[in-house]
Structure 1
């Protein structure tokens, strides 16, 4: 199936590019809009200079822990790697020890890549066009891959919680446009960076240098979705704080982590995994979690 997806996307690019000689690679678009903003690793990982290839990750690993309206499943609650990412804001201080796991990301594992905006815009992305989408990518109806596509699109179409401005972007250009429309062009974009990935949970200690990023109303975060090509769930929320957190593992591993703290959880599902793990009620205390290496945080300089 991966072979078919490569050729289908290549064909779509040929058709669109053939009718538009001025098409720009995503890298050039970034530089034209954000000439003074370095591109974070989470984005460069999804660029493919030699072409555009798509891959799937294990559907069992595609549980969205950050959909605050959903209750936790038994699988989530018993997965130590899921449970480990949540903590309280008062834990964000020098010397605090946390059990964490930084595994290999989808982008480093031949995951889905960005398409140019003109190509992405030519491909349907709607629950009303599901049969068309499955046919276009030669995905069998009822397969695991078809469920991934369906779940991603449904999540993107779902109404956000109060105070959330959201959009699922299907290209790097669309991500840049969404972020700059909310924050302006004088922005920074960063992601969690890991010196070396590990498949095991281990202790990390917060090193000196915890730093708050941006203001409450001046931050946008984009989460990678599982899809045949790169799609991100981007949202701006009114009640969040973001921090840059240096971590040092017992094995010597160093991580430049990005953490988000939600200061108002009153609208969350009481059975959300974070609330159950931390044993707190909705709306009582700020709830924090680290962002994965595939997430991108945008904030005003």
Structure 2
């Protein structure tokens, strides 16, 4: 069997973890279950046909759920060698958000160097990954966030223009800065943010639907799509993994190449003991955190 058992040293927390425990996520595991889709740790044992790793190897892995644990059994195809530059915290904070953002920006939107990229929730897990990747690809990045501290985090990640959505008319600001709208808009928020994004998108712009952290699933009038030849593009990265798409490994190789160049690196806001997982998720839900929150078993 091509599987491996790993001792978990760090667990990445993500917004979907909140939804899945509330029964509001599109994936509903049978009870009882633990959340958690990404871990980093040390290989303890491998199945008889597993060949890529050996006991003692430092790895990170992506899972459907079950990562909030002291040890996990994972199919070998979902396990990757931890970069030498990463500790376990960075490894646990890397897989999901960087895969999602690469899939969105490169595969779904075809982001090109010199284009304007607007990233909402730019200091959050997926948002900060999108800022780093967009900057690495040569895009001009506009970051929105709700505090000066979070905007500074986005600036350090490579954002060129910073917009506080609580105090600024961000739709007008994007139009002013770009001179015609953003070419690609990365939206993990939905609701009013999606509505505003449809008003400041460029001709032939691509509006990426990443998620609905704001709570409301938005709608758009078809004539607005037609009038500016825009594309509203869904991004469900997990479906590529579930279907065993070879693209996932290709994207990971591209991302790890960026890591080697020093172009991207996860930002960990805070770590919590696994026993305080509820507090960790509450911090994410309350928008207290930036980057990633990590648990230690």
Please state which structure has a larger fraction of its residues in helix: 2
Q: TM-score range by the shorter chain?
A: under 0.3
TM-score scaled by length of structure 1: 0.24
Select the structure with the greater relative contact order (CA < 8 A; seq sep ≥ 6): 1
TM-score scaled by length of structure 2: 0.24
